[in-house]
Amino acid sequence: MAEASQSHNRYAEAGLKTGWTIPQEWRSYTREEHDRWSRLVARQEKLLPGRACDAFLEAKETLKLPSHSIPDFEMLSDRLSRLTGWRIAPVAGLIPDDVFFDCLANRRFPAGAFIRSERELDYLSEPDVFHDVFGHVPLLADPVYARFLEAYGKGGQRAMQRGQLHNLARLYWYTVEFGLIRSRDGLRIFGAGILSSPGETIFSLTDTSPNRIAFDLIRIMRTKYVISDYQQSYFVIESFEQLLDQCYQDFGALYDRLQAARDVEPYEILSDDRVITTGDMRYFQSRH
C-alpha cells in the first residue's frame, strides 16, 4: 500500500496541513463520483450473497449503507456508534502507523474520503472510500469484531516499540484485509481487501491456486505477504470470538518466539499447518 496513487485526490494537501483527520465535505462529491460508488456497490452486491460472511451482510443492512451515494461519514458514524461506539474518521490516504493505531485504539476507523478514479475501478493501491467504508466499516457494527480491532490498535504501540510492527501488520493483512471464516455452509469472506474486489471475491473462495489454512496466530505473524496481487495463502478463522480471544493477550511472549523463528513465504505450507485446501499455484505460475 505504499505506491503513490495517481488519482486526483482533492484531500492530499488538506491532510498535510491540518493533521490527519480532514473534513469529508460530503457536498463536494460530484455526480460522477456518487455514480462510481453506485456501480462499485452494485458490482459487489451481486457477488456477495453466499460469499461474504453473514455478519457483514447483516451489518450492511443494519447500518443502511447507501447504495447510490457515497456515505456521509457523520450520519453513518451516528448509526455505527450507537451499536459499538466506533466512528469513522475521514483521512486523505495512508496515515502514519502510530496515528493509525491510535485511531483504532480509540474506536476511530480512518477511512479515505476520496473515491478512486475511473481508470482504477478494479484496483488501486491506496485505500479509498469504497475499500474503507464498504469493505471495512460494516463489520465494525459486530460487537466482537469491534473489540478485536480496538485490541489490535492497542497492540500497535507495543509492536512499534519492539521493532516488530512487521509481525503485527501480517496479522492485519491475513485477517482484517484478506481473512476467510468458516460457516455452516462452507467458507465465507470477512477481509475487506477481498470484499472490495470482485476478482478476489471469486478467487479467494473457489480458485484452485491458493492455499487455505486454518488460523494460527504465530504462523500468520511469520508469513510474508505480497501487496499487489491475489493472496497465495488465505487463513481461515472459526469465529470472531476466536480472533478476539487469541489476540486479547499480551503479545510479549509471542514476539520473543517470533524473533527466533524464520519468516514463512506466502506460498509455503508447514508440516503442522491445518490445511483446508492445498493450492496448485497455477495462477501464480502463470504470472511469472
**CB-nearer residue toward ligand HBI: 129 or 205:** 129
Q: Which stretch binds ligand HBI (CB under 6 A): 69-77, 91-99, 116-124, 198-206?
A: 91-99
Q: Which is catalytic among the residues 5, 77, 126, 177? A: 177
The correct pick among 22, 76, 95, 180 for binding ligand HBI (CB under 6 A) is 95
Residue 207 contacts ligand HBI per CB under 6 A: no
Contact at 8 Å (CB) between 250 and 229?
A: no
Letters for 124-143 (x = contact with ligand HBI by CB under 6 A, - = none) are ---x----------------
Q: Spell out the residues 6+ positions from residue 195 whose beta carbon is closer than 8 angstroms to its own.
A: 44, 48, 52, 56, 134, 135, 189, 201
Residue 97 is a binding residue for ligand HBI (CB under 6 A): yes
Three cell numbers written together for 56: 457483514
Instruction: For residue 67, give the nearest of 171, 163, 138 by alpha carbon.
Output: 138
d(C-alpha 210, C-alpha 204), whole Å: 7
User: Which of Fe ion, ligand HBI, none sits in contact with 214, Cβ below 5 to 8 A by type?
Assistant: none
The residues pairing with 214 across neighbouring beta strands, listed in sequence order, are 236
**Residue 166 falls in the annotated catalytic set:** no
Does the active-site annotation cover 136? Answer: yes
Binding mask of the shown chain, residues 99 to 128, with x at each position contacting Fe ion by CB under 5 A: ----------------------------x-
What is 161-199 written as a DSSP string?
A: HTT-HHHHHHHHIIIIIT-EEEETTEEEE--HHHHT-HH
Residues 26, 31: Cα–Cα separation, whole Å: 12
Q: Which helix (H) or strand (E) holds 99?
A: helix 97-105
Q: What one-character DSSP code corresponds to residue 103?
A: H
Interface size with ligand HBI, residues (CB under 6 A):
9
177 is catalytic: yes
**131 is annotated as an active-site residue:** yes
Catalytic residue among 5, 196, 197, 209: 196
- Pick from 209, 205, 222: nearest CA to 270: 222
Residue 129 or 181 having the CB closest to ligand HBI: 129
160 binds ligand HBI (CB under 6 A): no
Residue 91, contacted partner among Fe ion, ligand HBI, none, CB below 5-8 A by kind: ligand HBI
Catalytic positions are 131, 136, 177, 196
- Residue ranges in contact with ligand HBI by CB under 6 A: 91, 94-95, 97, 100, 110, 127, 169, 172
